Amino acid sequence: MLMEALRHALIRCPPPLKAMGVLYDLLALESRYRRCRAAWEPHLQQARAGMLDLLGSQTGRGSIAVLGSGLLLDIPLDELCRRFDRVVLVDLFHMPAVRRRCASLPGVELVETDLTGVMVHWGTVQSGQELPVPVPGLPQADAVISANILSQLSFRLAGHAFATGLWTPDALACWECALKQAHVDALSRHQGGPAILLTDHTRILRSIVSGEDLTRSPLLSGVVLPEAVCQRTWAWTIAPAPEESRRHDVVHQVCIGRVDAAPPPPVQDSGVAASVQTR
């Protein structure tokens, strides 16, 4: 904790993002990955392989944008650089380690932006005037990957909106759903190449004694996903005991698929049933 606090103070990050907790979340993610690396590795391998499989023969000249590139843990960056002339990594903030790694990779661009399009209007939230309509923007690219960011898009935003005391839980829940649905819909409208969505959708507390699921909570409540996204699913043990509890693991159900007009890939299911709304 002391080292995280020191790094939080020393890393240069835009003050509004620091105040919102963006840097804190990235530092916490780094620490959890170090503690849970063995439990995470099967998920990370599935994610990287799924992205490359769904890209198929897409290669040669062209560009790809990765939305929510984060710490690059689940991104097959080296292979993407071999397949594409230009790789655009998009997130709110890029950590120093990410910048160092990308500095030696030709064709990699780092873009820092708000993928929801609402932060520029944040003053209206704090004043209680309105919850801004999401206007998601996708970078110009031949292919797009949304890299496990969907369930987290509204996390900090909704938390800070709730803290103002000016918005009801129901209003915020509807707004969160709209933010996430707008992201999915923007991906669905992408033209010219694959648009791939990787997302977790259900949080499970699983007993380490009986193996039974104690609770199941949706992470995308009200969001409708294209059916093709749910063709390939697996379980991610995001917090193995005793990370959050000595009695249970925290498991997220994950799915990946193309959300553009391409036909769905063959079903590949690791035994975890999807429980999301599809169309």
Q: What mean pLDDT do residues 196-217 have?
A: 98
* CA gap 144, 67 in Å, rounded: 7
Extract the tokens encoding 211. Answer: 């193996």
Domain definitions of the chain by residue range: 1-123+130-258
* CA gap 181, 221 in Å, rounded: 10
Q: In terms of CATH architecture, what is 1-123+130-258?
A: 3-Layer(aba) Sandwich (3.40)
Write the CA distances from 78 to 5, 98, 113, integer angstroms: 31, 13, 23
Using pLDDT thresholds of 50, 70 and 90, give the confidence band for residue 158.
confident
Over the stretch 52-87, which tens digit does the pLDDT of each residue have?
999 987 666 799 999 999 999 999 999 999 999 999
Q: Which of 17-31, 47-61, 85-99, 210-224 has the lowest mean pLDDT?
A: 47-61
